[in-house]
């Protein structure tokens, strides 16, 4: 029994999204995206707008709830960065940069479904566009941030890899913004 318990702990620990792993994945995914047409450091003000949901997501209460959780994780990760930028001296900088997350697709398998159905519950995925515009509504960038959690990994972790998707999406968005400042 102790051996089974020890193996379960190792599996769960291996599925956790450590800060180092989040940074590694966030930087790697950010580096794959097209750079903005203008550096973010050239702006004096920064605004993070509420997340926009694709029409297909608005009809399912579970997806709306999961989108709200994703938005909270994004806001907690990105807003301090924007506050830091805004506090910097504004010499030579002007205008407002607006960042608007647009959720195109979301499917997160619940822990309960993973417990009962395991890998048979299928994959989880999140696809989000980060629409970045300036005050004249000119698009500066619109990277697509996508992550998925495989069914087998989700089954072994009883849903932990599915829940980690929120952190990976937020980390990728954070590093895209930071790397292009």
Contact 51/71 with Cβ under 8 angstroms?
Answer: yes
Q: Is 59 helix (H, G, I), strand (E, B) or coil?
A: coil
- Summarised one tens digit per residue, pLDDT across range 10-67 is 344 445 578 788 788 788 888 899 999 999 999 999 999 999 999 999 999 999 999 9
Distance CA 74, CA 160 (A): 18
Distance CA 127, CA 123 (A): 13
């Amino acid at each position: 029994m102790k051996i089974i318990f020890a193996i379960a702990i190792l599996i769960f620990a291996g599925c956790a999204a450590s800060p180092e792993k989040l940074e590694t994945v966030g930087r790697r995914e950010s580096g794959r995206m097209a750079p903005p047409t203008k550096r973010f450091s050239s702006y004096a003000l920064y605004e993070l707008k509420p997340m926009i949901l694709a029409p297909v997501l608005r009809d399912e209460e579970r997806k709306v709830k999961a989108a709200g959780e994703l938005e909270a994780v994004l806001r907690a990760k990105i807003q301090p960065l924007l506050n830091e930028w805004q506090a910097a001296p504004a010499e030579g900088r002007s205008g407002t940069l607006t960042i608007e997350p647009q959720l195109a697709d979301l499917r997160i398998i619940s822990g309960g479904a993973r417990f009962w159905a395991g890998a048979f519950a299928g994959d989880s995925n999140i696809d989000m566009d980060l629409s970045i515009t300036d005050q004249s509504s000119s698009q500066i960038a619109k990277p697509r941030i996508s992550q998925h959690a495989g069914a087998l990994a989700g089954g072994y972790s009883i849903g932990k890899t599915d829940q980690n998707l929120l952190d990976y999406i937020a980390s990728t968005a954070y590093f895209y913004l930071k790397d292009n400042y």
